[in-house]
Amino acid sequence: MKKLAILLLLSIPFFASAQDNVDEKMLKPSDTSKVEVLTFSETMPEFPGGTEELYKFISKEMKYPKRLKKEKIEARVISKFIINKEGGIENIQILNKVEPEFAEEVVRVLSIMPNWKPGMQMGKPVNVVFTLPISFKLK
């Protein structure tokens, strides 16, 4: 039986992308029109314990969708979200076209993440956009 592996690709840990349409299922702050969001900050947001712990969290929580595993479908899902001033995840978006089950699983896992250490600008916490590609691969 083939082993299942979900690989994280963080070669480019974050980048900005302009996209206005947000899926209704995605997490949204109460009023996005008045929220200032930075692409980069003096101190970027950090997952508790750093990148290695982020890998562990996603590997532990991510489940390969059964139908797609059975059909041997693989994908790279590019997600974009805001890490708010409190370190919470908001406005989760999937930037590329993938099977809905992959997108739903990424949104599910991102929405249960613990709070991050927020980004800082001039000594104050700020909202920062973060992009995270996640690959679903069968081995």
Q: What's the confidence (pLDDT) of residue 139?
A: 85
Burial of 107 (0-12, 13-18, 19+ CB in 10 A): buried
* pLDDT single digits (tens) 16-33: 333 333 343 344 444 445
d(CA 110, CA 132): 10
What's the pTM value of the predicted model, to 2 decimals? 0.75
Secondary structure class of 21 (helix, strand, coil):
coil
What is the DSSP-derived secondary structure letter of residue 113?
P
Domains of the chain: 4-138 (3.30.2420.10)
Spans in the chain with pLDDT lower than 50: 1-32
